[in-house]
Structure 1
Amino acid sequence: MSAAAVAVAVEITAYSAFAALSVVLTVIDVRTHRLPDRLVLPAYPVAAVLLTAAAVLRGEPGRLLVVIGGAVAMFVFYLALRMLRPGAMGGGDVKLAGVIGAFLGYLGGEAVLTGTLAGFVFGGLFAVVLVLARRARVTSGLAFGPWMLLGAWAVIMGELVRRLV
């Protein structure tokens, strides 16, 4: 088996693990408005090991700089939002942002920006619908992790489709 084929297998493993985590975190966040550290924090080393292996096998170790940059950028951005508006953004969202940033970073800097923006668009549209339907108020809390993840997956799936066609 070639290194490129092994790299694809490692990428599939990495994104499958992220998909499983995404489903579990979405269900938990919708039900409890919490993103448990015991699930989010182990995703950092899993992402690091798998994405590093894939990048090295592809012969693209420079890709890791974007992985790290994406993780740090999203973590810092969400942390800044949390600090600017205490209570508006949960600590779990901040930690999850770093994980999402790593997986989007593997796809490139544009993916990080697009995935971040998409999460806010999806979450914002959902909030507007809830307010208009009088199911929530402007001040109501909203589980934001699912929207962050949906934004990330929209970009990931878009990249997959782009590669297949």
Structure 2
Amino acid sequence: MRGGRMQALVAAAYLAFGVASLVLIRSDLAEHRLPNAVVLPATAVVGALLTLASIAAGDTAAVGRAAAGALALGAFYAALWAIGRGRGMGGGDVKLALLVGLFLGWHGWPELALGGAAAFVVGGASALALIAARRATARTHIAFGPFMLIGACLGPILV
């Protein structure tokens, strides 16, 4: 029964993360906005569900990794935001990094590293493809939230 409860909590966390991701991708592509009204509650809900799953599994180290992952990725994006003075990364990307870091950190350090890097690889490749197709220039603003969320999905798969 213990494993079944843990699996149900993880499934609920994945569902919450997936639904929030779809809403955020749509919003970022359409409006270049990652609304706090979605990002912050999603972070709280996913964090709570993964914490409960970790407790049910007797793996409290995962909770610490999730918190450290959120702080690490959030700090990295905050540094990028500060260096670019908000012109490259937006504040929404910094807040989304907390959710992505939490999700990836819960899975493990390799997942966090690969998922975090995958956002830049996939985002960069997409930007280059848009430039090559003359649908964008080096100055075109491209929503980065979708690539962060794609990276979050790829991290656990690539490990």
Given the two structures, how large is their TM-score scaled by the length of structure 1? 0.93
> What SS is found at the alignment partner of 2:107?
coil
Partner Cα distance (2:48, 2:16) in 1: 12
> What SS is found at the alignment partner of 2:19?
helix
Which one-letter code corresponds to 1:3 in the other structure? R
Corresponding residue number in structure 2 for 1:45: 44
TM-superposed CA distance for 1:155, in Å, is: 2.1
Partner Cα distance (2:131, 2:19) in 1: 30
TM-superposed CA distance for 1:109, in Å, is: 1.0
TM-superposed CA distance for 1:16, in Å, is: 0.7
Corresponding residue number in structure 1 for 2:79: 80
Equivalences for 1:65-76 in 2 at 5 Å?
65-76=64-75
RMSD: 1.1
> What SS is found at the alignment partner of 1:106?
helix
- Per-residue displacement from partner, 1:54-103 (whole Å, max 9, x unpaired)? 00000111111100010000100000000001210010000001001111
Equivalences for 1:150-165 in 2 at 5 Å?
150-156=150-156, 158=157
Q: Which segments of 5 or more consecutive residues in structure 1 lack a partner in the other structure?
A: none
Identity between Structure 1 and Structure 2 (%): 41
Equivalences for 1:83-162 in 2 at 5 Å?
83-86=82-85, 87-156=87-156, 158=157
TM-superposed CA distance for 1:5, in Å, is: 1.1
TM-superposed CA distance for 1:110, in Å, is: 1.0
Paired residue total: 158
Partner Cα distance (2:96, 2:81) in 1: 13
Given the two structures, how large is their TM-score scaled by the length of structure 2? 0.96
TM-superposed CA distance for 1:28, in Å, is: 0.7
Partner Cα distance (1:12, 1:18) in 2: 10
Q: Which segments of 5 or more consecutive residues in structure 2 lack a partner in the other structure?
A: none
Partner Cα distance (1:114, 1:147) in 2: 13
Corresponding residue number in structure 2 for 1:35: 34
Partner Cα distance (1:94, 1:22) in 2: 15
